């Protein structure tokens, strides 16, 4: 397809990597992001081998490696703290780590810088109030009163996507799982050279994200989907860790800053039908929101971005490109959503317990396959 004018709705990981992939192919890209401050919460994220392969394809691998810290295994611990397995990752090339931990602010900056370098025009504090597909173009009215005409629109606006609601009003919607995740940053011990996963009713992980920093995540049963006030939330998180392994209880004493706690109820969703309508297409959490139990939410969005740009390059009609993009992505994304949700349900008694070591090894094998 010749160079197109493309609007991306959402300036998160999926939107930014789409801008990079499309911009490098010669398309004119604009991004709108509703948050005027373009902020991200200050904890970390796991990027596995498939993401490093994608980063290489996007031309940003060196930035990734500089901004984060690599590690090559996942260690699984029993609820009492005994290590039961060390699962090696799959490096995509010699000399590369199998996994990368990176702080979200660092990731956000490197993706934003790369999107701008690829030519993206980024407008903050702006939303799309109307999307009209005229057949030969998409006319978008923005919240600042302006309008724009685009060859296609990419909805990368997250799990509660307004774009999805506008173009696919009958599609699946996010469902609360009964579980939530808590996150907090700590100094990284020198001996932490893997993602450490502690099993139990409260699942806990320790993730290196720099030479000096790691973060803890903890998944807890929250059947009534409560909301917690910022004041006192550090004490609440400490209390949630009261019956975990001794090493985790020891770390929990240092959870003291309310502002450092990030709490999020976990939802899941998979759109089984089309991922587009006309010249408007969706990607990332807007069509396949996963719980974080396999660490692949961002990875799936980044892979979406590359496959979408690839199919747009191959096909003349946008709908043909969008159909081919979904066909390449659906089974892989369904695997991540369903297997992650099975771990979640096993932890809270809504399903049989899952062997985390086997689930992790199986996932590594799946995502090592080409996209």
Q: Is residue 59 left, alpha or beta, with left meaning phi > 0 and alpha meaning psi from -120 to 50?
A: left
In terms of DSSP bridges, do strands 175-187 and 262-270 run parallel, antiparallel, or are they unpaired?
Answer: antiparallel
Decide if pLDDT at 196 tops 90.
yes
CATH placement of domain 177-266: 3.30.9.30
- Mean pLDDT for the chain overall: 95
CA–CA separation, 341 and 34 (whole Å): 29
Q: Higher confidence at residue 87 or residue 240?
A: 240
What integer pLDDT is reported at residue 357 of this predicted model? 84
Which uninterrupted H or E stretch holds 167? helix 162-167
220-276 confidence digits (pLDDT tens): 999 999 999 999 999 999 999 999 999 999 999 999 999 999 999 999 999 999 999
Task: Measure CA 163 to chain center.
Answer: 18
> What number is the average pLDDT over the span 135-149?
97
Lowest mean pLDDT among 91-105, 127-141, 268-282: 91-105
Query: Is residue 93 very low, low, confident or very high in pLDDT (cuts 50, 70, 90)?
Result: confident
Query: Is residue 89 very low, low, confident or very high in pLDDT (cuts 50, 70, 90)?
Result: confident
> What number is the average pLDDT over the span 129-143?
97
Domain ranges of the chain: 5-69+105-174+267-367, 177-266
Query: Is residue 201 very low, low, confident or very high in pLDDT (cuts 50, 70, 90)?
Result: confident
Cα 87-90-92 angle, rounded to 5 deg: 165
Decide if pLDDT at 94 tops 90.
no
Decide if pLDDT at 126 tops 90.
yes
> Shortest CA distance to 307 belongs to which of 27, 11, 12, 58?
58
- Residue 92 sits at φ, ψ, to 5 deg, of -85, -15
> Shortest CA distance to 167 belongs to which of 314, 319, 317, 311?
319
Q: List beta partners, residue 184.
A: 216
> What number is the average pLDDT over the span 122-139?
98
What integer pLDDT is reported at residue 356 of this predicted model? 83
Instruction: Check: CB of residue 221 under 8 Å from CB of residue 345.
Output: no
Task: Measure CA 200 to chain center.
Answer: 24
> What number is the average pLDDT over the span 281-292?
98
Query: Is residue 92 very low, low, confident or very high in pLDDT (cuts 50, 70, 90)?
Result: confident
CA–CA separation, 339 and 88 (whole Å): 19
In b/e form, how buried is each residue of 12-30, taking b as 16+ CB within 10 angstroms?
bbbbbbbbbbbbbbebbbb
CA–CA separation, 17 and 11 (whole Å): 9
DSSP state of 364: H
Decide if pLDDT at 42 tops 90.
no
Q: Which are the contacts of 177, defined by CB distance < 8 A and separation ≥ 6? A: 265, 266, 267, 268, 291, 341, 344, 345, 348
Percent of the chain with pLDDT strictly greater than 70? 100
Decide if pLDDT at 90 tops 90.
no
> What number is the average pLDDT over the span 216-222?
96
What integer pLDDT is reported at residue 200 of this predicted model? 86
Q: Higher confidence at residue 201 or residue 242?
A: 242
Instruction: Check: CB of residue 166 under 8 Å from CB of residue 296.
Output: no
> What number is the average pLDDT over the span 115-126?
98
CA–CA separation, 88 and 71 (whole Å): 10
> What number is the average pLDDT over the span 322-334?
98
Decide if pLDDT at 360 tops 90.
no
What integer pLDDT is reported at residue 197 of this predicted model? 93
CATH class of 5-69+105-174+267-367: alpha beta
What integer pLDDT is reported at residue 2 of this predicted model? 86
Structure tokens at 224: 């009534």
């Amino acid at each position: 397809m010749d160079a197109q004018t493309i609007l991306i709705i959402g300036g998160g990981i999926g939107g930014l990597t789409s801008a990079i992939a499309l911009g490098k192919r010669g398309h004119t890209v604009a991004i709108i992001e509703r948050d005027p401050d373009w902020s991200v919460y200050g904890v970390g994220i796991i990027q596995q081998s498939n993401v490093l392969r994608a980063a290489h394809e996007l031309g940003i691998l060196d930035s990734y490696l500089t901004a984060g810290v690599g590690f090559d295994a996942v260690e699984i611990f029993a609820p009492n703290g005994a290590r039961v397995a060390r699962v090696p990752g799959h490096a995509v090339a010699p000399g590369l780590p199998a996994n990368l931990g990176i702080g979200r602010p660092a990731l956000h900056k490197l993706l934003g810088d790369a999107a701008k370098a690829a030519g993206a025009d980024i407008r903050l504090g702006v939303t799309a109030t109307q999307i009209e597909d005229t057949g030969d173009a998409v006319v978008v009215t923005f919240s600042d009163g302006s309008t724009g005409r685009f060859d296609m629109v990419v909805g990368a606006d997250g799990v509660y996507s307004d774009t999805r609601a506008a173009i696919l009003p009958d599609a699946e919607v996010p469902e609360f799982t009964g579980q939530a995740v808590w996150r907090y940053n700590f100094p990284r011990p020198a001996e932490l050279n893997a993602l450490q996963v502690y099993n139990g009713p409260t699942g806990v992980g320790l993730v290196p994200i720099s030479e000096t920093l790691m973060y803890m995540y903890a998944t807890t049963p929250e059947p009534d989907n409560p909301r917690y006030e910022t004041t006192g939330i550090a004490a609440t998180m400490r209390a949630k860790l009261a019956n975990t392994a001794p090493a985790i209880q020891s770390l929990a004493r240092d959870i003291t800053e309310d502002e450092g706690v990030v709490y999020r109820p976990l939802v899941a969703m998979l759109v089984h039908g089309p991922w587009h309508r006309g010249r408007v297409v969706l990607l990332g959490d807007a069509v396949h929101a996963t719980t974080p139990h396999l660490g692949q939410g961002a990875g799936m969005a980044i892979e979406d971005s590359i496959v979408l740009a690839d199919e747009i390059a191959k096909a003349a009609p946008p709908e043909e490109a969008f159909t081919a993009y979904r066909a390449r992505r659906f089974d892989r994304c369904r695997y991540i959503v369903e297997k992650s949700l099975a771990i979640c349900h096993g932890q809270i008694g809504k399903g049989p317990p899952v062997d985390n070591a086997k689930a992790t090894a199986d996932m590594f094998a799946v995502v090592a396959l080409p996209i």
